[in-house]
Structure formats: C-alpha cells, structure tokens
C-alpha cells in the first residue's frame, strides 16, 4: 500500500462550502470583486536557524488553502499530521484526513465526495523504516558511494541527504530525501533509528511515471490505489551510480596491467570512466601532476571533476568497508521491499519484529 506525507489536491468549488466570514482569508481581486481567497500560514511555524524545532502549531497537517472564484477551484495542501503527529496518508486514512479539514472552520466538504472528485497536483511519497543502526550511518554511506551525475546532492548534512534530479525543465524534476525522523520529531514517539524516505513529485508527468497511471487527469483515488513502488523505481536510477564495496579476498596477479581488485572496480565503469581510472593509475592515483598540468587553465575545475569523482569512488571501494556494504544493502532492501510504514514507538518487541522484517 502506497503512503504519502503530503498531498496537494484540487477540488471543484461546487462541492466546497467556504466560510467567507472568517478573518483569516487573504483576499485579492479587482474592481471591488473578490476573485481569490487564500490562507497560506496554516502549517507549523519553525524557528529560522533550527528548522526542526517547532515554536507553535497553527493547524498541524493543513498547510495551505486557496479559493479561485474565476476557475471555480479549491486547492488544498494537507499532510499526515492532520490525523495525528505520526500518521501517513493512504487509502485507509484519506477519508479521516478530509474529514479533519472541516475542523479548520474555513471550509466544509463531504469526505466521500471530495475523494471521488479530487485531482492530485503533487505528492510526497513516503515510507518510515526502523534500521539496525543510527540513521546518520546510512545517509553518510549513501552520500559517500553515490557519485552519479543524474542526481545532485542538494542537501547533504548529517543525518539528512537529498538527491535532486538534474533536469532542465520543471516537469521532469523529482527529489529523494532521506532523514532521521526521530531527530526531526523527538516528542512524537518515533524509534531512534527511524529512517524516513520521501520522494517529491511536483509534475503530472512524474506522477504518471512513478505511480504508473494512465494518461489523462490524475485523480487522487487512482494515486492512492496505485500498486507501484515509486521509491524502488527512483532508487534503481540512483543505484547504478552506487558502487557497492566488494567483500573479497582476491590475490593480485602480477602479470596483469591492473590488480584483481582494480579490474573488478573497472568492470563496473563505462568506457569514459575506465579511461579516467587508467589515467589516474598512471599517476599513482595522485591528482597533483594533473593539477600542475592544468595550472592557469580557466577550465581546470571542470576538467578535474571526473578525476576527483573516480578517485573518491576508488578510495571508498578499496578501503575496509564491509560495514558500509552491509548498510547499503540493508537500505536498498528496505526501499525495494517496504514492509513497514509509520513506525511509532510501542514496545521493545515491536522494534525487534520491525528490524527483523
């Protein structure tokens, strides 16, 4: 069952009863005619320098509402917190979430009708998994071994990691974020090793691709009933640029131009990266001769980047990294075969069962 942390939905205004008497609405329009109403400060407010520390909650889980009288539409951004502090949105909880919107005193709607009529504009596909080790070990390891170019590290500070797809147009953008949910919400009862993984999809093209939906309008009900494992699909795109350290005790063969371990490393590289690796080997994996050769070249940084990437990758591969290999394999397994969602502290027995899954 697919689960979401955040959904942005679009409803026809005909099924929404707007409380225009509320003073919270921000009005806009022209010629003394109100064409839009908006409330954009409903989400939890956070301190500027410590974004994970809540100062107070306005309406937890209800982030945004906009009314467009010209298009006759109502846009709502809702998260699982509208149900409770630890919930995720799914086909089993969506009616409760829609019902909770009525408590805002800004609008009223029938949950069943809203579910049937709602269109999906964007979504954060989310899973929570209890890991065997602290979350920072997994994000650190993934950050160290991922050296691809299709996804860039736009947020990389322990214990958080965000990989964003490198695309020229907004319709192809998506991002994968992994972070320590217990550190973000220490009072909500999450297990200390809870890893939250979020895939943010903000365009119709990406929603259809990763939720495996047919062409045409994207209905909320269809997205909730999707059986696609979108996180696995994205992780497969990233996985090809993760070189898992190989646990082997091979002996070197002096007659080969490459050692057995170097040959194994090269077997995972494409043609251009193999050439880069051979060039590095020729200079004993020392960048100094290359830097000296490029001194004064205004494009030196760009030319050296692939050499630095391969050198970092080789150093990680060639190190004693059996623990890192186990971390990456566990992370991949959890994402590819999700068995637990929204893990909240209950008993030690629950933790053991979750970790063993």
Same domain as 288, residue 158: no
pLDDT score of 189 more than 60: yes
Answer yes or no: is 65 within a domain.
Answer: yes
Query: What is the domain count for the chain?
Result: 3
Q: Is residue 123 part of a domain?
A: no
Which residue is associated with the tokens 């194994």?
A: 264
Q: Is pLDDT above 90 for 115?
A: yes
**pLDDT score of 223:** 96
Residue-wise pLDDT tens digits, 60-69: 889 899 999 9
For the chain, report the end-to-end CA distance as a whole number of angstroms: 16
Q: Are residues 354 and 220 in the same domain?
A: yes
**Residues forming a β-bridge with 77:** 8, 64
332 domain residue, yes or no: no
Which pLDDT tens digit goes with each residue over 296-326? 888 888 888 888 888 887 877 776 566 777 8
Provide the pLDDT for residue 244. Answer: 57
83-97, 159-173, 214-228: range with lowest mean pLDDT: 159-173
* Residue-wise burial string across 98-118, b where 16 or more C-beta atoms lie within 10 A, e elsewhere: bbbbeebebbebebeebbebb
Band the pLDDT of 160: cuts 50, 70, 90: confident
- Whether residue 283 sits in one domain with residue 233: no
Average pLDDT, the chain: 81
**What pLDDT shows up at residue 337?**
72
Q: What percent of the chain has pLDDT over 90?
A: 37
Question: Which pLDDT does position 56 carry in this prediction?
Answer: 43
Looking at the domain assignment, is residue 248 inside a domain? no
Domain-embedded: residue 324: no
Question: Phi/psi class of residue 344: alpha, beta or left (left: φ > 0; alpha: ψ in -120 to 50)?
Answer: beta
Q: Output the pTM of the full model.
A: 0.74
Residue 356 predicted with pLDDT over 50 = no
Residue 232 inside a domain? The answer is yes
> How far from 242 is each of 158, 230, 237, 268, 329, CA to CA, in Å?
19, 19, 10, 10, 11
Greater confidence, 223 or 255?
A: 223
| Claim to verify: residue 149 and residue 207 sit in the same structural domain | yes
Same domain for 282 and 305, yes or no, is yes
End residue of a domain, out of 117, 151, 178: 117
Give domain status of residue 254, yes or no: no
Residue 282 lies in a domain: yes
Listing DSSP states for 292-343 in one string gives: HHTTT-TTHHHHHHHHHHHHHHHHHHHS--HHHHHHHHHHHHHHHS----S-
How does pLDDT run across 55-97, given as a tens digit for each residue? Answer: 344 678 898 999 999 999 999 999 999 998 788 999 999 999 9
Range of the domain at 56: 1-117
Q: At which of 97, 117, 137 does a domain end?
A: 117
Q: What is the reported pLDDT for 45?
A: 52
Residues 14 and 110 in one domain: yes
For residues 132 and 298, the answer to whether their CB atoms sit within 8 Å is no
Going by pLDDT thresholds of 50, 70 and 90, the confidence category of residue 341 is very low
User: What is the structure's pLDDT at 315?
Assistant: 79
Q: How far apart are CA 286 and CA 280, in angstroms?
A: 7
Domain final residue, candidates 58, 82, 117: 117
Q: What would the pLDDT profile of 239-282 be if each residue is shown by its tens digit?
A: 777 765 543 333 333 334 788 888 888 887 877 888 888 888 88
Residues 68 and 152 in one domain: no
Let me know whether 25 and 104 are in one domain: yes
Range with the lowest mean pLDDT among 102-116, 162-176, 338-352? 338-352
Residue 22: pLDDT over 90: no
What value does the mean pLDDT take over residues 213-230?
94
194 and 59 fall within a common domain: no
**272 with 219, same domain?**
no
Q: Using CA atoms, how far apart are residues 277 and 103, in angstroms rounded to an integer?
A: 61
Region of 179 (left: φ > 0; alpha: ψ -120 to 50; beta: rest) is: beta
> Do residues 232 and 356 share a domain?
yes
- pLDDT band at residue 52 under the 50/70/90 scheme: very low
Considering the domain architecture, whether residues 140 and 85 belong to the same structural domain is answered as: no
Dump the DSSP string for 189-245. TB-TTEEEEEEEE-SHHHHHHHHTPPSS--BHHHHHT----HHHHHHHHHHTTB-PP
């Amino acid at each position: 069952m697919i689960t979401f942390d955040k959904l942005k939905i679009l409803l026809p205004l005909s099924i929404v009863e707007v409380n225009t008497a509320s003073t919270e609405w921000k009005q806009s329009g022209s010629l003394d005619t109100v064409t839009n109403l908006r409330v954009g400060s409903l989400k939890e407010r956070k301190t500027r320098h410590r974004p994970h520390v809540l100062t107070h909650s306005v309406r937890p889980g209800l982030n945004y509402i906009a009314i467009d009288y010209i298009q006759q539409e109502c846009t709502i951004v809702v998260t699982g917190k509208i149900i409770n502090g630890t919930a995720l949105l799914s086909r089993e909880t969506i009616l409760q979430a829609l019902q909770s919107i009525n408590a805002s005193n800004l609008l009223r709607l029938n949950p069943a009708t809203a579910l049937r009529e709602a269109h999906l504009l964007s979504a954060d596909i989310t899973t929570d998994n209890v890991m065997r080790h602290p979350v920072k070990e997994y994000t650190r390891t993934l950050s160290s071994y991922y050296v691809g170019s299709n996804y860039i590290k736009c947020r990389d500070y322990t214990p958080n990691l965000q990989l964003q797809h490198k695309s020229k147009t907004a319709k192809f953008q998506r991002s994968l974020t992994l972070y320590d949910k217990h550190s973000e919400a220490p009072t909500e009862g999450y297990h200390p090793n809870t890893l939250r993984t979020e895939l943010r999809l903000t365009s119709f093209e990406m929603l259809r691709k990763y939720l495996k939906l047919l062409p045409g309008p994207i209905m909320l009900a269809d997205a909730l009933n999707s059986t696609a494992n979108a996180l696995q699909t994205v992780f497969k795109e990233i996985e090809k640029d993760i070189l898992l350290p190989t646990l082997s005790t091979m002996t070197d063969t002096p007659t080969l131009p490459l050692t057995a371990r170097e040959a194994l490393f090269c077997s995972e590289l494409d043609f251009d990266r193999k050439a880069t690796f051979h060039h590095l080997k020729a200079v004993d994996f020392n960048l100094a001769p290359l830097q000296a050769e490029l001194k004064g070249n205004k494009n030196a940084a760009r030319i050296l980047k692939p050499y630095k990437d391969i050198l970092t990758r080789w150093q990680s591969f060639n190190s004693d990294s059996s623990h890192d290999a186990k971390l990456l394999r566990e992370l991949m397994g959890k994402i590819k075969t999700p068995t637990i969602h929204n893990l909240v502290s209950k008993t030690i027995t629950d933790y053991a069962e979750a970790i063993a899954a």
